[in-house]
Structure 1
Amino acid sequence: MGIPRISCPFYITTPPFLPFFLAFFDPQKHFAHFFHRFLCSIHTIMSTEKERETQVYLAKLAEQAERYEEMVECMKTVAKLNLDLTVEERNLLSVGYKNVIGARRASWRIMSSIEQKEESKGNESNAKLIKNYRQKVEEELAKICKDILAIIDQHLIPSSTSGEATVFYHKMKGDYYRYLAEFKTDQDRKDAAEQSLKAYEAASTAASTDLPSTHPIRLGLALNFSVFYYEILNSPERACHLAKQAFDEAIAELDTLSEESYKDSTLIMQLLRDNLTLWTSDLPEDGGDEIKTEETKPAEHEH
């Protein structure tokens, strides 16, 4: 008895395209092509990791040497690799930019104060000199803010894969639009304030979902968002409400605070309380939002 033949029409007839396909398909050639592409991909990955490692090391070196402009350039290179940054890399980027812009923010405040004093004395020529110098600093501030905001929007937020990173970058975005609003005027100031508010609100929404109330990034966000309400929107009541709410929520969960973040979290909580003490003394008796004159600057979260 013979082996029964199995009917399989697919194999009985030759597909009409097969001869055409075989005429142009060279297995050896195509394997070599795909293998070459595979090796190129591996080389690119290795090159990217090597570049990342090198730039992070140089950024740390620049930080130790207090060469913050170069630290920023190194971390910009890392950010443009479109990778999800580690906590260390995020902090290096933040610290670099904070130092670069912090020095200029301090310069701007000093110049503005001296300019006002010269104007009050009637020294118009000196006031004009200071104004020109101040505008130079403002150009530098604007360039730095534009630089980091582009990095955040084009590389950091699209590459972030965790709630913590998302909150961090939106908070950072709110901070740098706030810095723009500090010295801009008229419609430019209004636009910067609106963008800052949107970024802080986006960060707050993500933080309430993804981070515990005691997390240092969530507390730092509340601290800086409340400073925004106080200094940019001239609303001490809302600033106090936000700071107090964040402080109270963290106090309620203090027993759940991890050992590794205890120091950072409690430090920011202390800054929240310090600002509340400062701002409460500024609240008008009728409960309005108008701020009394106060030279002391509220505390901010650095990174």
Structure 2
Amino acid sequence: MSPLPSRPSRAERFYLAELAGEAERYEDVVAQIKDMMGSYNARLTIEERNLLCVAYKNMTNNLRNSWRIVDTLEQMQRIRDGDKRHLELTRIQRGRIETDLTNLCKEIVSLLEQKLIPAAKRGEESVFYSKMKGDYYRYLAEFSQTEDRDKYADSSLNAYKLAYKHALATLEPVHPTRLGLALNFSVFYHDVRKSPERACHLAKSAFDDAVMSLDTSDPDVGQNLRDSLMILQLLKDDLVLWATEMQDGD
């Protein structure tokens, strides 16, 4: 008789999560990481954290893309004044996607609030998770059609503000986590608050501060320089785009 299997070690659970990620079974990735947190502790390594984030990002991106497609089709049907039954069915489908996306975003936020943020170490880890919380509340605000939109937008703003305040106090201006936060926070102001002026101000401030400190000799900055340069390019692209929008509006 073969012996009963022992409880998988943390390393084995991580291997299973990696395997699920390679197979694009992102729900299994999340399940393995959650089991790992329950069996051991809620503080994740960078590798574990990245795997969890990629899994949630892929799941939410698929739903967000589906929502955009169906929402666009619904708007086109309204403009064309097409078949009312088709419009109703399209609206129902959009509602189903919204329900799935809402549940998934709330699941992530709950995991962050109850497990990941309380266990996070001060500094980059804390900033990363607070930024992530702001991101998923922003997603909820982007597609919500009800009075919940303002509630989600306020929650996103509060999470971003807390993360940014902490980032300014603990991270170098060129640190990729601080720059990524500035990028997403500025997108929040542009897309959710509809304030390109504030978005540009935040993005430009982060961009200028980082450029001024690019010559630092900090070894951690050197290791992360490639990520930082990529985010700086994204900030620059957004600044150019939003400046053009404001000029066109004027």
**With structure 1 as the length reference, what TM-score do the two structures score?**
0.76
| Residue of 218, 231, 236 corresponding to 2:196 | 236
C-alpha displacement of 1:285: 6.5
Aligned residue in 2 for 1:56: 14
Q: Does 1:101 align with 2:60?
A: yes
C-alpha displacement of 1:162: 3.0
Q: Deviations over 1:22-66 (max 9, x none)?
A: xxxxxxxxxxxxxxxxxxxxxxxx96xx54222211111111111
Whether the 8 Å CA contact 1:111–1:130 is kept in 2: the answer is yes
C-alpha displacement of 1:69: 1.7
Aligned residue in 1 for 2:85: 125
Aligned residue in 2 for 1:283: 246
Measured in 2, the distance between the counterparts of 1:142 and 1:82 equals 27
Measured in 2, the distance between the counterparts of 1:285 and 1:139 equals 36
Measured in 2, the distance between the counterparts of 1:68 and 1:265 equals 27
Measured in 2, the distance between the counterparts of 1:167 and 1:75 equals 20
- In structure 1, stretches of 5+ residues that fail to align are 1-45, 288-303
Q: Deviations over 1:110-141 (max 9, x none)?
A: 11111100111111222211110111111110
Aligned residue in 2 for 1:148: 108
Q: Does 1:82 align with 2:45?
A: no
Count of residues paired in the alignment: 240
Q: Deviations over 1:182-210 (max 9, x none)?
A: 11123200000000000000100110011
SS in 2 for 1:282: helix
Measured in 1, the distance between the counterparts of 2:13 and 2:110 equals 20
Aligned residue in 1 for 2:142: 182
C-alpha displacement of 1:76: 2.2
Measured in 2, the distance between the counterparts of 1:82 and 1:135 equals 37
SS in 1 for 2:41: coil
Q: Deviations over 1:155-214 (max 9, x none)?
A: 111111231110011000000000100111232000000000000001001100111111
Structure 2 vs 1, CA of residues 79 and 230 (structure 1 numbering), >3 Å: closer, same or farther?
Answer: farther
SS in 2 for 1:254: coil
Paired letter, 2:116? L
Measured in 1, the distance between the counterparts of 2:24 and 2:196 equals 36
SS in 1 for 2:245: coil
Whether the 8 Å CA contact 1:82–1:156 is kept in 2: the answer is no
Paired letter, 2:34? K
Structure 2 vs 1, CA of residues 195 and 239 (structure 1 numbering), >3 Å: closer, same or farther?
Answer: same
Paired letter, 2:130? H
SS in 2 for 1:161: coil
**With structure 2 as the length reference, what TM-score do the two structures score?**
0.91
Whether the 8 Å CA contact 1:82–1:155 is kept in 2: the answer is no
